[in-house]
Amino acid sequence: MALGGPVICLAGGVGGSRLAHGLAQVLAPGQLTVIVNTADDFRHYGLRVCPDLDTVMYNLAGLADPQRGWGLRDDSGNMLRALRRLGEEGWFQLGDQDLATQVLRSHWLERGLRLTEVTARLAAALGVEQTLLPMCDEPVATMVQTRGGGELDFQTWFVRERWQPPVRSLRLAGIGRARMTAEVGDALAGATLVLLAPSNPWLSILPILAVPGLRAALRQAAAPVVAVTPVIRGAALKGPAARLMADFGLAPAAATVCGLYGDILDAFVYDERDAVPPPAGLRLLGADTVMDNEDARARLAREILDWTATWRPPAVPEREES
Ligand code: GDP
Ligand code: CA
């Protein structure tokens, strides 16, 4: 029963921000909290860069580049050009206005603010009315063990190497020192619905679920947990989700995503283009999950909210305590 109550969306970057933006269009601003992956954050020329937080923030602010889905619209590239003139490769795309976000975030973090507080300040300044929370305040970093090669930090593998090196395994450096924040705990405890956005499972959603305390908080929360597939007809719309499934010897399919989230899931939204729905045991909704424009985002968000609102509390499947 989601209508009217607080809705939480767990999100990564481009896929996650699409659903978050759809939800923002149909929910009252105070109703939506987005908890964002920070495991692909990195330090770049001394700055703390948070790609997924910024992607969600710029989309909710209506400032995102509409073609790429990330970065700021109409941004310029003077800094990158100047960096290259100084002999640097400049492989990480950072527009001039986007750079201001990184400078100010780094400045505030250096002055002792928590990432949660910094994010709230940046989002408010850009006019975001929804609540935007990083998954934790401590730095956590996805590290990529490549086949044949050594370990690459995530952005080197993803951007510089264009995610071509096959992956043996992934590791979340720093996750042992991370703690669920009070803000995330309160949000989950008060939620009436939790959505796992159509983000990359390994690179966006599983890092959030790996924050110590978070999975337990989700299990304890009264809210049903609903995931939206990031894989359609065995392929990702963008990025390495299906490739990673192949690398890990898993079927590149929506059902694989269900399996990865396991017992926290109550329901799953698969794409209607998929002939075979994922395995039973979950409430299932087949929908057009391609959110390639603003209307499609809002339409899918409304369809999911309407669907969950028809569930009467006793009919929500009991989750087994582990
Ligand atoms: P990143 O951090 O920018 O790589 O983005 P995410 O992890 O949030 O999202 C990447 C995933 O989003 C990919 O697996 C895409 O297939 C998926 N995705 C992107 N746009 C859409 C969409 O409109 N609908 C669905 N169902 N999935 C999408
Ligand atoms: Ca990302």
Lowest mean pLDDT among 120-129, 210-219, 280-289, 290-299: 280-289
How many angstroms is it from 12 CA to the middle of ligand 2? 5
User: How does residue 306 score in pLDDT terms, banded at 50, 70 and 90?
Assistant: very high
Return the best residue to mutate from 200, 243, 272, 295 for the ligand 1 pocket (most ligand atoms within 8 A of CB): 200
Q: Which of 84, 39, 204, 37 is nearest to 92 (CA)?
A: 84
68 lines ligand 1 (CB under 6 A): no
pTM of the model: 0.95
> How confident is the model over 59-112, as pLDDT tens digits?
999 999 999 999 999 999 999 999 999 999 999 999 999 999 999 999 999 999
Q: Which residues contact 265 (CB under 8 A, 6 or more apart)?
A: 196, 225, 226, 227, 258, 282
16 lines ligand 1 (CB under 6 A): yes
Residues 226-251, mean pLDDT to the nearest whole number: 95
> Is 48 in contact with 106 (CB distance < 8 Å)?
yes
Q: Which ligand is nearest to the CA of 13?
A: 1
Return the best residue to mutate from 23, 56, 199 for the ligand 1 pocket (most ligand atoms within 8 A of CB): 199
What is the number of the ligand 1 atom nearest to the C-alpha of 16? 8
| Beta carbons within 10 angstroms of residue 306's beta carbon | 12
Q: Residue 262's pLDDT is what?
A: 87
User: How does residue 14 score in pLDDT terms, banded at 50, 70 and 90?
Assistant: very high
Instruction: Give CA angle at 174 (170, 175), nearest 5°.
Output: 75
Ligand 1 atom 4: the closest Cα is on which residue?
13
14 lines ligand 1 (CB under 6 A): yes
d(CA 57, CA 59): 5
> How confident is the model over 112-124, as pLDDT tens digits?
999 999 999 999 9
Ligand 1 atom 2: the closest Cα is on which residue?
13
Residues 159-168, mean pLDDT to the nearest whole number: 95
Parallel/antiparallel/unpaired status of strands 32-36 and 7-11 = parallel
How many angstroms is it from 134 CA to the middle of ligand 2? 13
Q: Which ligand is nearest to the CA of 201?
A: 1
How many angstroms is it from 1 CA to the middle of ligand 1? 26
Q: Up-side HSE of residue 197: CA atoms within 13 Å toward CB?
A: 33
Q: Residue 3's pLDDT is what?
A: 57
How many angstroms is it from 12 CA to the middle of ligand 1? 8
197-224 b/e with 16+ CB inside 10 Å = b?
bbbbbbbbbbbbbbbeebbebbeebebb
> How confident is the model over 80-94, as pLDDT tens digits?
999 999 999 999 999
User: How does residue 1 score in pLDDT terms, banded at 50, 70 and 90?
Assistant: very low
d(CA 242, CA 282): 22
> How confident is the model over 284-297, as pLDDT tens digits?
999 999 999 999 99
> Is 32 in contact with 24 (CB distance < 8 Å)?
yes
